[in-house]
Amino acid sequence: MIAQSGSARCLPSSPGSMRFVVTAHPSRGSAAHFRRCAVVVTIPSPPPAGRTMAIDVYWGSGSPYAWRVLLALEYKRLPYLSHLLQFSKQEHKSPQMLALNPRGRVPVLKDGDYVCFESLAILYYLDLKYPQPPIFGRTPEEAGTIMRVICEYQAYIEPRLRRITSAIFDGDVDLSGDEITEAMHSVASDARTIEGRLSKSDWIVGDAYSAVDMVIFPGIQLLKRALERPVARELSSRFMP
């Protein structure tokens, strides 16, 4: 389980289950058009049988990619050891970490002797290794739809979203300029598409929590947190509902 995340916790629920709650602001629902900022997932119990060794997860606070992996581990009820690295101390570039991932990036997952990095690859590995509950669907058609939506997000939304958040956090771009305004228009348009899906279902794709929610929700949360900064007040007022 997460030892310390700053904004996540496991809460007891009904017998035989737990609720994993992620929240950054007292709101409701899932991540739609930046308004809904909590995910409540009922996690089946007990944990998978036969697990004798915990998974090691190396991650950093504030990384939406790390959050994808943490959400998957919690949802699948897999025991893991949390290694929270300090970016300010360059711990992700330490010799130990470079031996696990030569790129010096997080998240990194170590399961026994197997090491995996890149968040989507980790999600895919976890679903094949520990298939219950599934996060890439139960049929080829469901898996294809989930992967398509993830690919759409990573190709068309995520680069613009990260450009906006980097501009806010780093202060390297005029937030009133055309580049950021166009990026916000694009992200807001795609967010409305996501909101349309969530108006008909609890989840972005299908009738169950999936890798799509794990991939998209942390990115939306990162953008929301960035837009709450005083420097982004004017930008937020133009685009936040």
Query: How do the domains of the chain map onto residue ranges?
Result: 140-239
Domain 140-239, CATH among 3.40.50.300, 3.20.20.140, 1.20.1050.10, 3.30.750.24 = 1.20.1050.10
47, 78 Cβ separation under 8 angstroms: yes
pTM of the model: 0.78
What dihedral angle (degrees, nearest 10) is formed by the CA atoms of 82, 83, 88, 91? -160
> Which phi and psi (to 5°) does residue 69 adopt?
-70, -45
Res 156 pLDDT > 50:
yes
Strands, sheet with 8-12, edge to edge from the N-terminal-most edge strand: 8-12, 17-23, 38-44
Give the model's confidence band at 37: pLDDT under 50 very low, under 70 low, under 90 confident, else very high. very low
Res 173 pLDDT > 80:
no
What dihedral angle (degrees, nearest 10) is formed by the CA atoms of 167, 240, 71, 91? 20
Which pLDDT does position 47 carry in this prediction? Answer: 52
pLDDT digits (tens, 9 = 90+) for 93-116: 999 999 999 999 999 999 999 999
